[in-house]
Structure 1
Amino acid sequence: MLATAALAGCSAGTEGTPYPVETAATAASQSAKAAQLPQRPAELPLQNVDLCDVLPQVQLDALKITSVPREAPEPDGPVCVLDADGAEPMHSYHVGAVAADLDQWITGARKKNSMTTEPKNIGGYPALTNYRAAGDPADCETLVGVAKGQTLTVQTFAITRGKLTQPQLCEMSVHAADLALQSLKSRN
């Protein structure tokens, strides 16, 4: 199997961007990631949830949000943009709701070979961090499986380039996702 992995090398994507070819070993590791996720303790449906209102002011202050939360158009579903641009390093959070189960990012249609996906447990809920490990760190996305067919997403973007590391972006994304999850729990 190692020979297969070594020979697989890289393939060209649709725009000529190299990405690793998925091998049987990679598929097995993806299945292992899925097995590490906890079972969802309760359903926290996102229907009729105003994502720009999901975090109370005290949590917005903790995240250093300096602008009024605003809705942004997204092809996957509703998104609220929260900017922390009052001091360096400037960054932004995009809180969204996607109509898909969490496993879609591990073994399904939303899985991308160019992304690093790590299983997490956030407030007892199955979660993943999803980021591009190569290159200049620009963002990190935390995905929380809050209900059947529903995933809460919190993506942290670096506005000031070169000031935040990939681990810092992911830590910030996980923290914001945890705060949003706490708020959703308190509403149900």
Structure 2
Amino acid sequence: MLATAALAGCSAGTGGTPYPVETAATAASQSAKAAQLPQRPADLPLQGVDLCEIFPQVRLDELKITSLPRSVTAATDGPTCVFDADGAEPVHSYHVRAVQADLDQWITGARKKNSMTTEPKTIGGYPALTNYRAAGEPADCETLVGVAKGQTLAVQTFAITRGKLTQPQLCDMSAHAADLALQSLKARN
């Protein structure tokens, strides 16, 4: 019976490639994660927000941003601004995105990935998630904040210098930047 339970976590896909199958227990744990999220205290809509101006200069200095923020177009997620901290080691980057999706999409919806570790948290009183790949060398960590119905503020921290930042450090940096961005949104509304 134990061997059967162990095998229940994976199935063969095309070409014999194993992939995890969501069991009833896993689905229940995902629903429990969603239930842990607090209610949003107020809507902070992202319409009309220039993400490249989300951080005042004092916050750019705090985040060690040394290059001019640059706007990029992400095919799937909408507006994105990249902030590079490339003046000293370890070099890293913040990508701030306005995603047109509710936060629960990363827990039980279309954006959920079995290869990612998703943990509920609270940022500035708002429901949030930490999202990262637990296996392999730490490369990035994303903090997702449910700022309004159908809108998520995503702040992803990337390690440009490999091997210098741990996964907890990347996640702490991402959460801190997300908190600073949220403070700017609150001051604006």
TM-score bracket, shorter-length normalisation? over 0.9
Give the letter for the 1:87 counterpart. A
Residue 11 of structure 1: how far off its partner (Å) = 4.2
For residue 73 of structure 1, give the secondary structure of its aligned residue in structure 2.
strand
For residue 154 of structure 2, give the secondary structure of its aligned residue in structure 1.
strand
Contact in 2 for aligned 1:4/1:23 (Cα 8 Å): no
Aligned to 1:40: 40
RMSD: 1.9
**TM-score normalised by length of structure 2:** 0.94
> What is the count of residue pairs matched by the alignment?
188
Q: Deviations over 1:66-99 (max 9, x none)?
A: 0000001102110000000110111000000000
Aligned to 1:73: 73
Contact in 1 for aligned 2:9/2:22 (Cα 8 Å): no
Q: Following the alignment from structure 1 to structure 2, what is the Cα–Cα distance between the partners of residues 68 and 90?
A: 15
Q: Following the alignment from structure 1 to structure 2, what is the Cα–Cα distance between the partners of residues 144 and 125?
A: 7
Give the letter for the 1:85 counterpart. D
Aligned to 1:54: 54
Q: Which stretch shifts more, 67-76 or 13-22?
A: 13-22
Aligned to 1:180: 181
For residue 39 of structure 1, give the secondary structure of its aligned residue in structure 2.
coil
Percentage identity across aligned positions?
A: 87
Give the letter for the 2:87 counterpart. G
Residue 22 of structure 1: how far off its partner (Å) = 1.2
Q: Following the alignment from structure 1 to structure 2, what is the Cα–Cα distance between the partners of residues 99 and 161?
A: 31
Contact in 1 for aligned 2:52/2:69 (Cα 8 Å): yes
Aligned to 1:84: 85
Q: Deviations over 1:119-160 (max 9, x none)?
A: 010000000000000001100000000000000000000000
Contact in 2 for aligned 1:5/1:23 (Cα 8 Å): no
For 1:1-188, list aligned pairs within 5 A.
5-11=5-11, 18-75=18-75, 76-188=77-189
Residue 20 of structure 1: how far off its partner (Å) = 2.4
Alpha carbons of structure 1 residues 61 and 18: separation in structure 2 relative to 1, 3 Å: farther
Residue 2 of structure 1: how far off its partner (Å) = 7.0
Give the letter for the 2:65 counterpart. I
Gaps of 5+ in 1: none
Contact in 1 for aligned 2:155/2:177 (Cα 8 Å): yes
Residue 4 of structure 1: how far off its partner (Å) = 5.9
Residue 21 of structure 1: how far off its partner (Å) = 1.9
Residue 10 of structure 1: how far off its partner (Å) = 3.0
